[in-house]
Amino acid sequence: MSNIKRIQNNLPLRCAALIECPRNRRYLTGFVSSYGSLLLTRDTAVLLTDSRYIEAAQAAVACCAVEEIKAGRLRNLCKSHGVKKLWLEGSATMERVQQLRTALPGVYLSSNRALDVHMNQLRMIKHDDEAQKITAAQRIAEAAFAQVLPTITVGMTERDVALALDFAMLRGGAERLSFDTIVAAGVNGSKPHAVPGDYALRRGDLITMDFGAVVEGYHSDMTRTVALGEPSAQAREIYDVVLAAQEAALAVIAPGVACKDVDAAARDMIKAAGYGEHFRHGTGHGVGLAVHEEPRLSEKSREVLRPGMVVTVEPGVYLPGVCGVRIEDLVVVTDTGYVNLTACEKELMVV
Ligand code: ZN
Ligand code: ZN
């Protein structure tokens, strides 16, 4: 069954869905564009787009009708299909809702999260071709890491390292970067999402690098923490705690396991080592057309792992004023367990 059909089957009577989030539109139609409205009623699917995209869309999209958007067309479509209620995405802006309110008199606009829930349910489970794109992106990221790692030296700045990773990923075939690369060294390592700055690397620093590549819209995400010369005993201890926590979380990953139990496996280990208050983010997240998507591996998650989910496993310990460690792998859940897509050393590397 097509993804469009799956959404249509969830629509209540006289209800349609309007998909305008570029990633959701891409997911359902396969067509990449910055602008367009995909209208789904129970029995029709129409992609409305503008003159910039119409020719390419008509050639590429086979799963639904494609029309150039004209004033009043959305209203006519709603009218002719008896649409009384329109599901909108949570990403619809107030401005857009106002426009639609004016354009579609008599249609009740609903941002009740139902559409987002259905879209997330679909996007969470990756098809083989999606998993392949994520894997290809991960291969590019780890090749970049292997290339840059031996070049890291005392005196380089965090920005230098980030730029080297970015360049290597783009050179290696990434269509873009998954997100702004994080390089956090020494005391900066205690900020989980530090912005790489002019800090110059010193001997004994731990360096946390979090980065990813994009292939055909699909993201990768990995983190490694390495030491520049022999680190302190405390830094090594923290590293070992985080690595043990990460492996404990990986060990429970299997279909049917609650996402919060994966988080608990890592969190309990870090708590037991006395660093519980220094691990304050979730253990992982889904990755796909967005770098952060469902499911979340967190204490609050009510989701259960299913085959095809692609998630990160990334516990960390962050000691303010001292250092930080995070280790992040990307895995795909299979029928029997998982496959780790990150083929990269995890024992503390001293460069
Ligand atoms: Zn990451
Ligand atoms: Zn991540």
pLDDT (tens digit, 0 to 9) for every residue of the chain, 351 residues total?
Answer: 899 999 999 999 999 999 999 999 999 999 999 999 999 999 999 999 999 999 999 999 999 999 999 999 999 999 999 999 999 999 999 999 999 999 999 999 998 799 999 999 999 999 999 999 999 999 999 999 999 999 999 999 999 999 999 999 999 999 999 999 999 999 999 998 889 999 999 999 999 999 999 999 999 999 999 999 999 999 999 999 999 999 999 999 999 999 999 999 999 999 999 999 999 999 999 999 999 999 999 999 999 999 999 999 999 999 999 999 999 999 999 999 999 999 999 999 999
What's the 3 CA to ligand 1 centre distance in angstroms?
A: 28
User: Can you tell me the distance from the alpha carbon of 147 to that of 139, in angstroms, rounded to the nearest whole number?
Assistant: 12
Surrounding ion ligand 1 within 5 Å at CB are: 210, 221, 223, 328
320 upstream amide cis, omega within 30 of 0? no
Q: How far is the CA of 221 from the centre of ligand 1 (A)?
A: 5
In angstroms, the CA 172 to CA 338 distance is 27
CA of 223 to the centre of ligand 1 (A): 5
Contact 255, 213 (CB under 8 A): no
Task: Please state, in angstroms and as integers, the Cα–Cα distance from residue 105 to each residue in 42, 44, 236, following that order.
Answer: 20, 21, 64
Q: Which-ligand-closest: CA of 208?
A: 1
Proximal ligand: closest to the CA of 331: 2
Task: Using the mean position of ligand 2's atoms as its centre, give its distance from the Cα of residue 222 in Å.
Answer: 7
Contact 330, 310 (CB under 8 A): yes
